Amino acid sequence: MVDNSIRTKLFSPTRLGEIELANRIVMAPLTRSRVNQEGVPNELNVTYYVQRASAGLIISEATNISAQGRGYAMTPGIWTEEQVAGWKKVTDAVHDAGGKIVIQLWHVGRCSHVTLQPNQEAPVAPSAVKADCNVYTYDGPQEASMPRALKTDEIAKIIEQYKHAAECARRAGFDGIEIHSANNYLLEQFLRDSTNHRTDQYGGSIENRARLILEIVETVTRVWSSGQIGIRLSPVSTEVGNTPLDSNVMATYGYLIQQLNKFRLAYLHFVEGTTGKDRTVPENVDLDALRSLFDGAYIGNNNYDLEMAVSRHTEGKVDAVAFGRPFISNPDLVERLRYDIELADVTNDAYYGNGAKGYIDWPKANSL
C-alpha cells in the first residue's frame, strides 16, 4: 500500500516543456495495428484514445513518417492529407475530453519487409545488416527483409521526411511530437556501432553516429517549438531485431543526451531496460546517471507499477511515468491507480489487429 500523501504527488499537475499535464501519468506509445492499408486513423481510433484521455499525456502509437518508414501492416501514417484528417478527428476528440496528445514519429529502418515498401524495394538502414526479427505483413508474420545501406546523399531525404511529418502533425492538431529514437528502429540503428558500419560522416565516431538524430531534431525545431518536442531512447534494449548493444553505452548515449540539451526539448523518455520485458541493465551501465545529464523533464518507462512510480518520483528520478500495457486493458488507469482499484489483465492476443475486440471494449471500473 502506497501512502496517500506521497501518492498524491503523482497525480499533481506538471509541465513537460511547454506542454501542461493534469497529472504525471503518461500513456506510452502502443502499436495496436487497427487502421486501414492507407494508414488512416478511423472512428475506432478516436474512441480508443478518448477513453484514455484522463492520462496527463498520451503519446500516440508509433506513426510512420513516410511509406518507406513503414515496417508493420495496419499501422498509421502522418504524411498524407487523408492521414492528417484522420488524426485531426482523434486530437479534436481528445482535447474535447480534456486530454493532451503528442504523436510519435517513426521510421523503422531495417525492421521491415519488401511487401510493405514502395515498389517492393528493400528496406533502408545505415548499413546492410539484417534484422533478426519477424514483422507483421498483410500475409502474416514474415522474416524481416535484407536492407540496403542508405547512400550519403539519400540521408537528406530522410531528414525531409521527418520535417514533412512534423508539419503534418501540426495541421493534425497534436500538442507536440516525440521523435522515436528507440527500440532499434532507424535512428537507433544509426546511433549504435553494432548496426552502423558506415565510413562516411554518419558512421564511425560517436559524433558521426549521433549526427542524424541531431540533424533531425534541429530540423523539426523549425516546425515546432522545442518545448513541444520530446525524444525516446532505449540505451540497453535489444528489441527489436535482437540488436546488440552499442560497444560503449555510457559514452554514446551520454554524448547524445548532452548534445540534445542544446535544443531545450520538452522531455527525454527512456525505456529503462529491455522494451516490453525486464528492467535488467548491464553492470557497466547506469541509466540514472545518463538521465542526470539531461537538463529537462524525464519520463521513465518499462514495467512500472504504482509503488515504483511513486518511489522514483519521490526520489527525484522521474518527472512523469509512462505506462504501456496497463493502458490497453484499463482505459481509466489514472483513476484506478489513484484509488487503488484492481487492474484488469490483458493477454497478447488482444494487442494487435482484432478490430473493436480487445481494443475499445474494456470497461471502466465504475462500469464493472
Residue 73 near residue 38 (C-beta atoms within 8 A): no
Lowest-confidence region among 92-106, 250-264, 267-281, 305-319: 267-281
The grid cell for 140 is 502474416
The H or E element containing residue 89 is helix 81-96
Tell me how far apart the alpha carbons of residues 319 and 297 are, in angstroms, rounded to a whole number.
6
348 pLDDT band (50/70/90 cuts)? confident
Give mean pLDDT, residues 336-358: 89
| Res. 49: pLDDT tops 70 | yes
Q: For residue 259, which phi and psi values (nearest 5 degrees)?
A: -70, -35
167 pLDDT band (50/70/90 cuts)? very high
Tell me how far apart the alpha carbons of residues 53 and 43 are, in angstroms, rounded to a whole number.
15
CB-neighbour burial class of residue 173 (10 A; exposed 0-12, middle 13-18, buried 19+): middle
The H or E element containing residue 47 is helix 43-51
Which of 170, 176, 187 is CA-nearest to residue 126?
187
347 pLDDT band (50/70/90 cuts)? confident
Catalytic residue among 49, 136, 185, 267: 185
53 pLDDT band (50/70/90 cuts)? very high
pLDDT in tens, 120-155: 999 999 999 999 999 999 999 999 999 999 999 999
**Segments making up each domain of the chain, as ranges:** 10-303+312-323
Instruction: Give the sign of the dihedral formed by CA 252, CA 253, CA 254, CA 260.
Output: positive
Tell me how far apart the alpha carbons of residues 111 and 278 are, in angstroms, rounded to a whole number.
22
236 pLDDT band (50/70/90 cuts)? very high
| Res. 363: pLDDT tops 90 | yes
Residue 183 near residue 152 (C-beta atoms within 8 A): no
Instruction: Give the sign of the dihedral formed by CA 22, CA 25, CA 28, CA 33.
Output: negative
Tell me how far apart the alpha carbons of residues 174 and 101 are, in angstroms, rounded to a whole number.
6
pLDDT in tens, 62-82: 999 999 999 999 999 999 999
| Cα dihedral: 338, 58, 33, 245 (round 10) | -90
* Percent of the chain surpassing pLDDT 90: 91
195 pLDDT band (50/70/90 cuts)? very high
pLDDT in tens, 275-320: 878 898 999 999 999 999 999 999 999 999 999 999 999 999 999 9
Give mean pLDDT, residues 160-182: 98
3-state secondary structure of 177: strand
Alpha helix positions (H), 148-283: 155-171, 186-191, 206-209, 211-220, 249-260
Give mean pLDDT, residues 191-200: 98
The H or E element containing residue 105 is strand 101-106
The pairing of beta strand 14-16 with beta strand 19-21: antiparallel
Tell me how far apart the alpha carbons of residues 172 and 274 are, in angstroms, rounded to a whole number.
32
Residue 63 near residue 71 (C-beta atoms within 8 A): no
354 pLDDT band (50/70/90 cuts)? confident
Tell me how far apart the alpha carbons of residues 327 and 297 are, in angstroms, rounded to a whole number.
22
Residue 309 near residue 10 (C-beta atoms within 8 A): yes
| Res. 22: pLDDT tops 70 | yes
Which residue is associated with the grid cell 565516431? Answer: 205
Give mean pLDDT, residues 214-234: 98
Give the model's pLDDT for residue 242.
87
* Percent of the chain surpassing pLDDT 70: 98
Q: How many other C-beta atoms are found inside a 10 Å radius of the C-beta of residue 46?
A: 19
157 pLDDT band (50/70/90 cuts)? very high
Which residue is associated with the grid cell 535544443? Answer: 263
* Range 10-303+312-323 classified under CATH 3.20.20.70: yes
366 pLDDT band (50/70/90 cuts)? confident
Give the model's pLDDT for residue 161.
98
Give mean pLDDT, residues 317-338: 96
Rg (CA), the chain: 19
| Res. 367: pLDDT tops 70 | no
Give the model's pLDDT for residue 351.
86
Tell me how far apart the alpha carbons of residues 365 and 368 are, in angstroms, rounded to a whole number.
5
Query: Does residue 180 or residue 8 have the better pLDDT?
Result: 180
Judge if pTM exceeds 0.85.
yes
Q: For residue 232, which phi and psi values (nearest 5 degrees)?
A: -115, 130
For residue 185, indicate whether it is catalytic: yes
235 pLDDT band (50/70/90 cuts)? very high
6 pLDDT band (50/70/90 cuts)? low
Q: For residue 5, which phi and psi values (nearest 5 degrees)?
A: -65, -30
Give the model's pLDDT for residue 60.
98
Residue 108 near residue 129 (C-beta atoms within 8 A): no
